[in-house]
């Protein structure tokens, strides 16, 4: 497809905040000094399930330097959900800022604010708590047993599906007649898959600083993905109207979903309101592991039926998910496990026009750490089960795994019926696929990895080699829900201010929005000063999640820039006495047929000369489309059959994200997502003792992929044009995380003929699988 040439979009614009970030000048939450600031620390439950019988804080309160101690007796008894989503929130309201019941090891017992962190620590030790220890639910597969302890009390259960069975949320959708499809299929493959707890591993821990400004308004400076949700959600909890709260998001050191949560802000703000002082609350790494948010562990039953020609007759995915002690994102993550995966494969070819798809998910409470949003949002779990199943079918049919997938993959113009039923916690929105570079992704990735030669390879010795493929999609924003708004104004020197609610977490969205606006305004992204995510200064945005910012807020930037462009051209036409349609806006100049004026001159004219006005505009954008980006992943691995070690030698990712607004950053997102996915596939896992205590809450023992572990990765950006996105763009940030687990599982099978159905594929697990096959 031939596309228009862009001056800013599609170029590797340097990140606007890049130099400040790498020279240490950029300011994160913690990089301010406020006079009289107090340090908060949290006392945490040593028990997985317990009730506080008595809590005595007198000694702690009397320790010199301690300014406040809060327990459940001191905070409003209001239930909320920590999940940062728009109202009506689809997650159950099952959380108190502080409660008298402890639901996991690490749950909050009390909070202290003191003049130094050391005093705060000392005060924690002086709090005397008497617990009634309760039996705990530590195995998700037994959470629904009739005699299982109840994690949440029935009278106070709020938006919980079935509290008496520990069911936080559930969803079930059927399209067509899957039962008939399976009955008629020539081959049905059905298996169980397991995925465990995973950490988002953002560099900057959760942190928040709250203070009262000179007018007495509450200011919340926080490391969040969702500043506007924070403001709305904490208002009732701290007893202040929204207008009396300002939320500021400075630079963020990564979040990956774990900060789509309103976790620290209410507690920190209550400490500020109690003491009148600025308060800083930062989690330790151990606290981040144990008490922030994780990926949902799941047990997935995946069933696919095909006819002998390799045409899929029916697909079915049954998911049991562990949401931990609270139901943050319990419903929506599980919805995504189905909606982001199953539509990738058509089931309507088998019997013309009829889809046979069934999806069911149940999220249960346990007395274990709380799951929530993490990059991929349910899709990585789903793809591990679905894509591995597809690989297995291909093998059983004696077909090449790629050829089998190609027969069944979604095509432009398709409209998966499942998506109408399955939205984000509510009914979905009909989607018609308008851009799909999937086949091109597969074609180029296949060539790059040398698929055909490597599939034919056979090797000797204890170390075996194999290649595997995985095919993936995601979405771009939540259709009909996500909204982003952008304000742009012009200055006398031809520079612009761009104000966006959107939340740059290190993702680069500030730069992306500037590139899009610059394209419309015929200037360079460097001419933009971007201010994002200050609820007093910027317009609204739902936040940085669901792969939405480039696609949704990017379109708002394009629209706002379009309005500003019109104002500029109208005024320039008057200044040049020319007709608007004869003017060209480029290189910071408005060129007429005879003369031209600079953007600065246009602004000066507007501010000081004629019909004075500020050239500025605000625009909002919402989309009823959520166009999926597509991707094909290829892993070339070795499996050491004596130690079980799986080594990834080479990894190829071909991704269709529509127009890459900034190819280098799109590649960076992809590499980062692969790094997360590799850890998920091979080495990352929470290990618990038999009382629900995490044994490895530190990076020495929780193994993310280090620089030395990274394979050679090649990213191929496959160009397509998404008509509903800004300059053809779709999302790119979450999709890469979906691929490594299935691609590597499939490569391991190719190497040694063993299917791994539980992540991570640690050497020990792989060796055990090899041994059990051999006996």
Minimum Å gap between C-beta 333 and other proteins is 27
Minimum Å gap between C-beta 645 and other proteins is 8
Both tokens assigned to 280: 């800083």
Nearer to other proteins, 662 or 683 (CB): 683
Nearer to other proteins, 412 or 701 (CB): 701
Nearer to other proteins, 242 or 767 (CB): 767
Minimum Å gap between C-beta 286 and other proteins is 9
How far apart (Å, rounded) are the C-alpha atoms in residues 246 and 223?
14
Nearer to other proteins, 644 or 692 (CB): 644
Minimum Å gap between C-beta 708 and other proteins is 4
Minimum Å gap between C-beta 282 and other proteins is 16
**Cα dihedral across residues 720, 721, 722, 726: positive or negative:** positive
**Sequence-separated (6 or more) residues with CB below 8 Å from residue 752:** 464, 466, 639, 641, 770
Minimum Å gap between C-beta 687 and other proteins is 5
Given a contact cutoff of 8 angstroms between Cβ atoms, the answer to whether 621 and 629 are in contact is no
Please tell me what DSSP assigns to residue 63. S
Nearer to other proteins, 499 or 676 (CB): 676
Minimum Å gap between C-beta 461 and other proteins is 10
Nearer to other proteins, 624 or 699 (CB): 699
How far apart (Å, rounded) are the C-alpha atoms in residues 387 and 473?
11
Count of helix runs (H) and strand runs (E) in the chain = 19, 26
Nearer to other proteins, 39 or 630 (CB): 39
Minimum Å gap between C-beta 749 and other proteins is 21
Per-residue three-class SS string for 625-646: CCCCCEEEEEEEEEEECCCCCE
In sequence order, the β-bridge partners of residue 323 are none
Closest by CA position to 342, among listed 397, 276, 414: 414
Both tokens assigned to 227: 């500043």
Nearer to other proteins, 115 or 351 (CB): 115
Minimum Å gap between C-beta 774 and other proteins is 13
Instruction: Give CA separation, 183 vs 175, 398, 556, in Å.
Output: 16, 21, 49
Nearer to other proteins, 316 or 762 (CB): 762
Minimum Å gap between C-beta 41 and other proteins is 15
Minimum Å gap between C-beta 647 and other proteins is 9
How far apart (Å, rounded) are the C-alpha atoms in residues 388 and 376?
17
Nearer to other proteins, 124 or 471 (CB): 124
Scanning 284-329, the segments in alpha helix (DSSP H) are 285-291
Nearer to other proteins, 169 or 741 (CB): 741
Both tokens assigned to 20: 């400040």
| Interface residues toward other proteins, by CB under 8 A | 642-645, 683, 687, 695-696, 699-701, 703, 705-709, 762-764, 767-768
Minimum Å gap between C-beta 763 and other proteins is 7
Scanning 437-584, the segments in alpha helix (DSSP H) are 438-449, 451-456, 509-520, 554-576
How far apart (Å, rounded) are the C-alpha atoms in residues 202 and 246?
25
Q: What angle do CA 144, 146, 150 make, to 5 degrees?
A: 70
How far apart (Å, rounded) are the C-alpha atoms in residues 207 and 271?
14
Nearer to other proteins, 587 or 701 (CB): 701
Per-residue three-class SS string for 643-689: CCCEEEEEEEEEEECECCCCHHHHHHHHHHHHHHHHHHHHCCCCCEC
**Cα dihedral across residues 509, 510, 511, 514: positive or negative:** positive
Given a contact cutoff of 8 angstroms between Cβ atoms, the answer to whether 47 and 131 are in contact is yes
In sequence order, the β-bridge partners of residue 314 are 305
């Amino acid at each position: 497809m031939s596309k228009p040439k862009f001056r800013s979009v599609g170029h590797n614009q340097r990140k606007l905040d890049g130099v400040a970030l790498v020279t240490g000048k950029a300011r994160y939450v913690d990089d301010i000094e406020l006079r009289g600031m107090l340090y908060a620390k949290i006392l945490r439950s040593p028990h997985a399930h317990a009730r506080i019988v008595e809590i005595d804080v007198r000694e702690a309160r009397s320790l010199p330097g301690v300014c406040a101690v809060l327990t459940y007796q001191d905070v409003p008894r209001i239930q909320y959900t920590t999940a940062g989503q728009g109202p009506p929130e689809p997650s159950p309201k099952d959380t108190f800022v502080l409660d008298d019941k402890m639901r996991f090891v690490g749950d909050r017992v009390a909070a202290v604010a003191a003049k130094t962190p050391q005093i705060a620590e000392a005060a924690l030790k002086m709090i005397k708590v008497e617990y009634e220890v309760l039996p705990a639910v530590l195995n998700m597969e037994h959470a629904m047993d009739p005699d299982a302890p109840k994690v949440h009390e029935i009278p106070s259960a709020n938006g919980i599906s079935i509290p008496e069975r520990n069911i936080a949320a559930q969803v079930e959708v059927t399209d067509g007649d899957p039962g008939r499809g399976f009955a008629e299929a020539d081959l049905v493959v059905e298996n169980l898959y397991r995925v465990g707890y995973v950490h988002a591993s953002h560099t900057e821990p959760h942190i928040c600083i709250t203070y009262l400004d000179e007018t007495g308004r509450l200011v919340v400076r926080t490391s969040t993905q969702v500043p506007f949700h924070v403001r709305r959600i904490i208002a009732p909890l701290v007893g202040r109207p929204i207008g009396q709260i300002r939320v500021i998001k400075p630079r963020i050191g990564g979040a990956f979903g774990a900060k789509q949560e309103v976790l620290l802000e209410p507690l920190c703000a209550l400490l500020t309101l109690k003491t009148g002082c600025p308060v800083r609350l930062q989690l330790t790494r151990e606290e981040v592991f144990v008490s922030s948010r994780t990926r949902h562990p799941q047990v997935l039953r995946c069933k696919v039926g095909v006819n002998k020609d390799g045409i899929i007759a029916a697909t079915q995915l049954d998911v049991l998910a562990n949401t931990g002690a609270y139901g943050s994102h319990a419903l929506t993550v599980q919805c995504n496990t189905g909606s982001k995966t199953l539509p990738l494969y058509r089931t309507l070819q088998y019997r013309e026009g009829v889809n046979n798809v069934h999806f069911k998910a149940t999220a249960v409470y346990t007395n274990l750490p709380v799951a929530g949003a993490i990059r991929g949002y349910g899709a990585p779990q789903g793809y591990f089960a679905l894509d591995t199943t597809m690989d297995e079918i291909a093998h059983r049919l004696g077909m090449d795994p790629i050829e089998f997938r190609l027969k069944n993959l979604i095509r432009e113009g398709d409209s998966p019926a499942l998506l109408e039923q399955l939205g984000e916690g509510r009914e979905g929105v009909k989607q018609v696929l308008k851009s799909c570079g999937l086949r091109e992704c597969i074609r180029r990735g296949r060539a790059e990895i040398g698929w055909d030669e490597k599939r034919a390879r056979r090797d000797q010795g204890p170390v075996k080699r194999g290649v595997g493929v995985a095919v993936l999609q995601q979405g771009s924003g939540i259709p009909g829900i996500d909204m982003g708004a952008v304000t742009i104004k012009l200055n006398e020197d031809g520079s612009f201010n761009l104000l966006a609610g959107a939340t740059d977490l290190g993702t680069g969205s500030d730069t992306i929005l500037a590139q899009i606006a610059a394209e419309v305004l015929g200037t360079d992204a460097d001419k933009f000063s971007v201010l994002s995510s200050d609820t007093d200064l910027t317009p609204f945005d739902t936040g940085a999640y669901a792969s939405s910012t480039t696609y949704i807020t990017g379109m708002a930037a394009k629209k706002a820039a379009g309005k500003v462009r019109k104002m500029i051209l109208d005024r320039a036409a008057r200044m040049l006495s020319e007709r608007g349609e004869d003017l060209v806006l480029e290189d910071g100049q408005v060129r007429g047929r005879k003369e031209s004026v600079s953007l600065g001159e246009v602004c000066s004219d507007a501010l000081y000369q004629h019909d004075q006005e500020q050239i500025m505009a605000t625009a909002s954008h919402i989309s009823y489309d959520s166009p999926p980006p597509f991707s094909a992943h290829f892993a070339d691995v070795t499996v050491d059959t004596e130690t079980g070690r799986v080594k990834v030698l080479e990894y190829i990712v071909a991704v269709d994200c529509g127009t890459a607004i900034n190819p280098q950053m799109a590649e960076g997102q992809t590499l980062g997502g692969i790094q997360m996915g590799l850890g998920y596939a091979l080495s990352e896992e929470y290990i618990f003792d038999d009382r629900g205590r995490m044994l490895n809450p530190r990076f020495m023992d929780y193994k993310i992929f280090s620089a030395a572990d990274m394979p050679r990765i090649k990213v191929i950006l496959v160009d397509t044009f998404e008509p509903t996105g800004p300059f053809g763009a779709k999302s790119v940030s979450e999709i890469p995380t979906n691929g490594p687990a299935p691609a590597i599982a499939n490569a391991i099978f190719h190497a040694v003929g063993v299917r791994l159905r539980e992540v991570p594929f640690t050497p020990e697990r792989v060796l055990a699988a090899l041994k059990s096959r051999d006996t």
